[in-house]
Amino acid sequence: MYSIEIKASGGSYPIYIKNGLLGEIGSEVKKIYKGRKVAIVTDSNVNKFYGEKAISSLKSEGFETFKIVVKAGEESKSFETLLQVYDKLLDFKINRGDIIIALGGGVVGDMTGFAAATFLRGIDFIQIPTTLLAQVDSSVGGKVAVDLPRGKNLVGCFYNPKAVFIDPFLLKTLSDKFVCDGMGEVIKYGAIKDKGLFYKLMEYENSEAILKDIDKIIYTCCSIKAGIVERDERETGERMLLNFGHTIGHAIEQFFNFKEYSHGEAVSMGMYAITKIGEELGMTKIGTSSTIKDILIKYNLPWTLPEIKTEAIIETISHDKKNIGDFMNFILIESIGNSFIGKIEEAKIVDYLQKKS
Ligand code: GLY
């Protein structure tokens, strides 16, 4: 079993990574939680595959379990679903001494984490991420949130889990599209911080070879993220590097109402675009965008921008909290593995988007 301890302001918490860990979840939870009641929040897809497995393991250790199943999909990261979850927690008489488990991808993790942070002013929670994206990113670092009709993650807070249990075997039931989606974030870690990881990803011959190594890959990504969030828990500096490709990526997701492209696909296009812009402005070593393009093609991820209205994208980007005057803060890479926060004039972004659309 791989383990990483994250030092956080409210106390440290562990991340455990082990193939087959879900089957042992009861005994693992018993080591860190002395109460009896456990509320599990999951979605309709994950429930079909793993709901019973989690519950039977918890029951075998004597826990009293309560399951809350929300609809699969981004719509569940809403206040409507949150109210339903609070309601069920009340029905089950969950109180401050009990624990909530988020069993699912990013939507379930973020929404359940926010429910845990706010219900009765805060209840402990555990993350069991079931998608690659959630295993390498959203379950780690304590960002929890729900969406508003006007945008994603607009209401949330930092609330660290008691522990994160990652079972890479759970990825076996993910479709190729969702594995690629998560690979977008894995590639991001290599691009911003770890040249060795990036070039290793270039070498894998096929998806079987990647899956064989996936526990190691997840461990590498979580270790990088752990280091970053330990140094900058509240995203005032270094943590922003994790947003490489995300500013343009979010704008693309939003432009298509989150229907056309997955998060990893949108971030992939964003990583290529900002690297190309960085090269044109002399901020990025020439040839880096072509290396990014090669790896995205290898992992079936898109790199060219789709047909978009430049004004709409700029409007979304300029609402982004990272803007200062006519300049916008972007995460750039100087070369593979070396990232920095750079200021780019809005006009330069407009030029690039107009050339492409
Ligand atoms: N997903 C980016 C972060 O956790 O900061």
Residue pLDDT, tens place only, 276-285: 999 999 999 9
Distance 142 CA to ligand 1 centre (A): 9
Q: What is the pLDDT of residue 320?
A: 62
The pLDDT value given to residue 271: 97
* CATH class held by domain 2-173: alpha beta
* Cα(187)–Cα(196) distance, integer angstroms: 11
Atom of ligand 1 nearest to the CA of 137: 1
- Distance, CA of 310 to CA of 351 (rounded, Å): 9
Atom of ligand 1 nearest to the CA of 141: 4
Tokens of 188: 């991001």
Task: Quote the CA–CA distance of 84 and 92 in Å, as a whole number.
Answer: 12
Q: Which helix (H) or strand (E) holds 30?
A: helix 25-32
Distance 168 CA to ligand 1 centre (A): 20
The dihedral region occupied by 216, where left means phi > 0, alpha psi between -120 and 50, and beta the remainder, is alpha
Query: For position 32, what pLDDT does the model report?
Result: 96
Backbone torsions φ then ψ of 319, nearest 5 degrees: -75, -15
Residues having CB closer than 6 A to ligand 1 are 137, 141, 143, 235, 239, 242
Residue nearest to atom 2 of ligand 1 (CA): 242
Asked if pLDDT for residue 136 goes beyond 60, the answer is yes
Q: DSSP string covering 86-136, please?
A: HHHHHHTT--TTSEEEEEESHHHHHHHHHHHHHGGG--EEEEEE-SHHIII
Q: Which atom of ligand 1 is nearest to the CA of 240?
A: 5
Q: How many A from CA of 144 to the centre of ligand 1?
A: 10
The pLDDT value recorded for residue 195 is 97
- Domain positions in the chain are 2-173, 180-356
6 membership: H or E segment, kind and range = strand 2-6
In this predicted structure, what is the pLDDT of residue 356?
66
- d(CA 153, CA 145) in angstroms, rounded, equals 5
Average pLDDT rounded to a whole number, residues 146-162: 92
Nearest atom (ligand 1) to Cα of 229: 5
The pick from 137, 185, 224 for probing ligand 1's pocket by mutation, whose C-beta has the most ligand atoms within 8 angstroms, reads 137
CB 145 within 8 A of CB 175: no
Q: Do residues 21 and 215 make contact, with C-beta atoms less than 8 angstroms apart?
A: no
Q: How far apart are CA 298 and CA 320, in angstroms?
A: 31
Q: What is the pLDDT confidence band of residue 307, given thresholds at 50, 70 and 90?
A: confident
- Distance of alpha carbon 207 from its chain centroid, rounded? 21
Cα–Cα distance measured from residue 160 to residue 342, given in angstroms and rounded to the nearest whole number: 29
Ligand 1 centroid to Cα of residue 143, in Å, is: 7
CATH architecture of 180-356: Up-down Bundle (1.20)
Cα–Cα distance between 264 and 323 in angstroms, integer?
23
Identify the CA nearest to 149 among candidates 84, 78, 86, 248: 78
Judged against a pLDDT cut of 50, whether residue 321 lies above it is answered with: no
Nearest to 195 by CA among 2, 297, 333: 333
Beta bridge partners of 331: 341
The closest residue, in CA terms, to atom 3 on ligand 1 is: 242
- pLDDT tens per residue, range 198-257: 999 999 988 888 989 999 999 999 999 999 999 999 999 999 999 999 999 988 988 888
Task: Give me ligand 1 centre to Cα 242, in Å.
Answer: 6
Separation of 318 CA from ligand 1 center, angstroms?
Answer: 20
